Amino acid sequence: MNQSSLVIKQQKSRLWYLTAVFSLLLLFVVTYIAGRYLALADLASTKDDLEKSQQRLADTQDALGRASESLVMQKQSSQVDNQSNQELVNSVKNMQQVQNDLEEELKFYRNIMAPERDQKGLTIDSLKVSKTDKQDEFHFRLTLIQAGKQSQFLKGDIVLRLTGLLNGKNTEYDFRELGTFNSKHFQFQFKYFQNIQGFINLPSGFEVNKLTIAARTKGLRKNQKAEKQMIWQPEESQNYVR
């Protein structure tokens, strides 16, 4: 004969439920404060980088002005030594290059901190393609930024394509087909900016005329996309560490 058993469960008090709710609220507040602190720390670091770049640019411009004045004075003197004159010319050229690099760096930070009105969210900042010392090999560097308010991390994928002629026929290649890559090479995840770079090898006889970039976020409440087309104009050979 089966006997029924009586199970007694202790009812939780109202104080227990209030304590549980309070603990969850406290955990939420602590998590929110920690997230805000990290975001402000990242923002302060970016502003600090911008200020340092501005100061370096100002110092470089001052040095360039003094060197240019000295060069003019030496050219006007009949007793100028050719070697020292050439060294000064090279020095001025080097400082001009440094100034150009710093101006590019400042433009980059300004696009993040104070972008143009039509630039918000996911933005293609630049794509630089350079020849290497190998035949038909090129190095690319793509920079993505989140312009304006950096309130969230952006995560997604990019697609880079080359369009041109191969044996007289219109042909298109995805960068994934032109190098040793995996899917992670063309994924991004960042709050302020991210660089994506690598090497590609063009098929023999392929004449490129256009480069297309498409970036798209995923997993956001409202996904973002950025697209850009460029004429194929690689820079001269550069030395890269492989």
Q: What is the mean pLDDT of the chain?
A: 76
pTM of the model: 0.55
Q: Which residue in this structure is represented by tokens 């433009």?
A: 107
The β-bridge partners of 161 are 174, 212
- 93, two tokens: 């050229």
Domain extents in the chain:
38-113, 121-231
pLDDT at position 187 is 93
Q: Nearest to residue 136, comparing CAs of 103, 156, 164?
A: 164
Q: Nearest to residue 128, comparing CAs of 120, 136, 138?
A: 138
27-73 per-position pLDDT tens digit: 766 676 666 666 656 666 666 766 776 677 677 767 666 666 666 66
| C-alpha–C-alpha distance, residues 191 and 29, integer Å | 22
Longest CA–CA separation in the chain, Å = 125
pLDDT at position 157 is 94
pLDDT-above-70 percentage for the chain: 56
* pLDDT(99) > 70: no
pLDDT-above-90 percentage for the chain: 29
Fold adopted by 121-231: Immunoglobulin-like (2.60.40)
What's the pLDDT band for 20 if we cut at 50, 70, 90?
confident
